[in-house]
Amino acid sequence: MPKKLFIRTYGCQMNVYDSARMADVLAPLGYHAAQEVDEADMVIVNTCHIREHASEKVFSELGRLRDLKAARAAAGQGLIIAVAGCVAQAEGKEIMARAPYVDIVLGPQTYHRLPEMVARASRAGGRVLDTDFPAEAKFDHLPEPTAQGPSAFLSVQEGCDKFCTFCVVPYTRGAEYSRPAAAILAEARALIAGGACEITLLGQNVNGYHGDSPDGGHWGLGRLIRALAELPGLARLRYTTSHPRDLDDDLIAAHGEVPQLMPFLHLPVQSGSDRILAAMNRQHTAAEYLRLVERLRAARPDLALSSDFIVGFPGESDRDFEDSLALVRAVGFAQSYSFKYSPRPGTPAAALEQQVPDAVKEERLAAFHALIGEQSAAFNRACLGRSFDVLLERPGRRDGQLIGRSPYMQSVFVEAPAAMLNTVRRLRITDTHPNSLAGTLIESEA
Ligand code: 5AD
Ligand code: SF4
């Protein structure tokens, strides 16, 4: 009997990918996507542990689902509630104890076992907690992905061994694991057959990729990108998120040599102060980061960069913060994300003394936003009058309008017929805004 599945996804693109794969895994059981949570027979909350108050937010969402489940029960109907993702991994036992109406708690490494978990949960009282890091690779047990539109995600690497002192990922996602190249190429072919013309390769530390290659050796990310670029029908490649330490020569060269590899790179640096970078266990200095940027731009002069910064890491002085602003000025980012440091239980930095007062963090965040906002607005302004290829991804709010992505990840608005959705078109940029661009179609000369 057809059933409806609603998945609420928080956090990073990896979670977006995992949610799509969970839907694929449950499709053979008759689950189809529900548009609204109210019509679902099963709800999965796919959680993220990075943000502040992550677990409180999960519990308040679960409280709403408890009410929905009670209303269903009153009408003689059921609702399966599952909690997945990094909060589930880190706090699975607590969720089981505090939220007895939750049927399934599963970590990011076990969702290939969802059908079995659903079967167990459907039996009276059969609650399931599965947050192992199983020996078998979940990827070997997942069905082919279904099309996700013109721009698709493909997970190539998971986990992280870097242990930055502020970060929970090494604990929630486990040790680094790279998928074999042949499996990635097969998944890419399936995505292209389903209509994807852009693929974003995902991994917590994606450029640490070192997967088995079809010839019996190992490939790094640069080599994998070169192999993917040979697949017919694949117009664009991107990858995220990278660590500066693992950006090797071949990957840098690929930015200059592989036309499908888009000229935009998210390369988090976190701070511009060597003292703070050391306390964060980032394993690189500010000068090493700047040198990488120089080498990347030598390979691909129009490369646009984005980054993540943490302000108010324990012990960060005004001087350290100034160093971060100086690094931003030196690089000139197309966009950037900045976060107030917030202690994550169990991470080394949470136990450090010299936590920075919240008022200081707020002040620094505001200064940071102002500088980054100026830089991204300047980057957008400089696009006026230029022409680029834009992948038209979705309808705009107005009739006759489509929204696409530039090579540099900017959103571009254009008047164009709906028939052009899912295609790459050449546009001239006619107007720029702080967070988007507007363009017109350039008629093909044929
Ligand atoms: N506090 C603030 N920001 C954090 N990030 C990760 N952990 C924390 C934390 N404890 C930020 C980092 C990372 C991004 C995904 O989230 O900048 O790159
Ligand atoms: Fe977390 Fe990224 Fe550092 Fe790994 S490299 S510990 S995922 S911030």
Using one digit for the tens of pLDDT, what is the confidence trace for 146-170?
A: 767 899 999 999 999 999 999 988 8
CATH code linked to domain 3-130: 3.40.50.12160
44 touches 8 (CB < 8 A): yes
Chain centre distance of CA 229: 21
Residues of the chain where predicted confidence (pLDDT) is lower than 50: 445-446
Q: Name the nearest CA neighbour of 299 among 256, 237, 267.
A: 256
276 touches 240 (CB < 8 A): no
- The structure tokens 């599963």 sit at 106
Distance CA 352, CA 109 (A): 31
Q: Which CATH class is domain 387-441?
A: mainly beta
179 touches 209 (CB < 8 A): no
Whether 92 is in the pocket of ligand 1, judged by its Cβ within 6 Å, is: no
CA of 327 to the centre of ligand 2 (A): 20
Angle at 250 between CA 245 and CA 255, to 5 degrees: 95
**What is the reported pLDDT for 363?**
97
**What is the reported pLDDT for 147?**
67
The 10s digit of each residue's pLDDT in 296-335 is 999 999 999 999 999 999 999 999 999 999 999 999 999 9
CA of 176 to the centre of ligand 2 (A): 11
CA of 323 to the centre of ligand 2 (A): 21
Whether 356 is in the pocket of ligand 1, judged by its Cβ within 6 Å, is: no
Q: What is the DSSP letter of 181?
A: H
**What is the reported pLDDT for 136?**
65
CA of 166 to the centre of ligand 1 (A): 7
**What is the reported pLDDT for 394?**
93
Tokens of 394: 């979705």
Closest C-alpha to ligand 1, atom 16: 50
Probe residue for ligand 2, chosen from 205, 246, 344 as the CB with the greatest number of ligand atoms within 8 Å: 205
Residue 268: Cβ within 10 Å count: 19
* Extents of the domains making up the chain: 3-130, 144-262, 268-382, 387-441
Q: Is the peptide bond before 241 cis (omega within 30 degrees of 0)?
A: yes
Residue 174 identity: G
Residue 336: Cβ within 10 Å count: 22
Distance CA 371, CA 373 (A): 5
Whether 388 is in the pocket of ligand 1, judged by its Cβ within 6 Å, is: no
CA of 52 to the centre of ligand 1 (A): 9
Residue 253: Cβ within 10 Å count: 15
Q: 3-state SS of 194-227?
A: CCCCEEEEECCCHHHCEEECCCCCEEEHHHHHHH
Q: What is the DSSP letter of 261?
A: B
- CA max distance for the chain: 67
* Torsion of the alpha carbons at 347, 14, 53 and 376, rounded to the nearest 10: 100
Terminal CA-to-CA distance of the chain, rounded, Å?
52
**What is the reported pLDDT for 19?**
94
14 touches 202 (CB < 8 A): yes
118 touches 29 (CB < 8 A): yes
Whether 313 is in the pocket of ligand 1, judged by its Cβ within 6 Å, is: no
Probe residue for ligand 2, chosen from 164, 270, 341 as the CB with the greatest number of ligand atoms within 8 Å: 164
CA of 163 to the centre of ligand 2 (A): 6
Probe residue for ligand 1, chosen from 48, 51, 173, 308 as the CB with the greatest number of ligand atoms within 8 Å: 308
CATH of the structural domain 268-382, one choice from 3.30.750.200, 3.40.50.300, 3.20.20.10, 3.10.150.10: 3.30.750.200
Q: Name the nearest CA neighbour of 163 among 315, 326, 283, 37.
A: 283
CATH code linked to domain 144-262: 3.30.750.210
**What is the reported pLDDT for 79?**
94
Q: Which atom of ligand 1 lies nearest, measured to the CA of 167?
A: 7
Do the strands 236-240 and 218-220 form a parallel or antiparallel pair, or are they unpaired? unpaired
| Residues whose beta carbon lies within 6 Å of some atom of ligand 2 | 160, 162-164, 167, 169-170, 204-205, 243
The shares of helix, strand and coil residues in the chain, as percent rounded to the nearest 5, are 40, 25, 35
239 φ, ψ to 5°?
Answer: -150, 150
Closest C-alpha to ligand 1, atom 18: 308
Domain 3-130 shares a fold with domain 387-441: no
CA of 205 to the centre of ligand 2 (A): 7
Residue 60: Cβ within 10 Å count: 10
Burial (Cβ within 10 Å: 0-12, 13-18, ≥19) of residue 337: middle
Q: Which residues contact 111 (CB under 8 A, 6 or more apart)?
A: 18, 21, 22, 25, 84, 138
Angle, helix 358-381 to helix 318-331, in steps of 10 degrees: 10
146 φ, ψ to 5°?
Answer: -90, 160
- Residue 149's region, left for phi above 0, alpha for psi from -120 to 50, else beta, is left
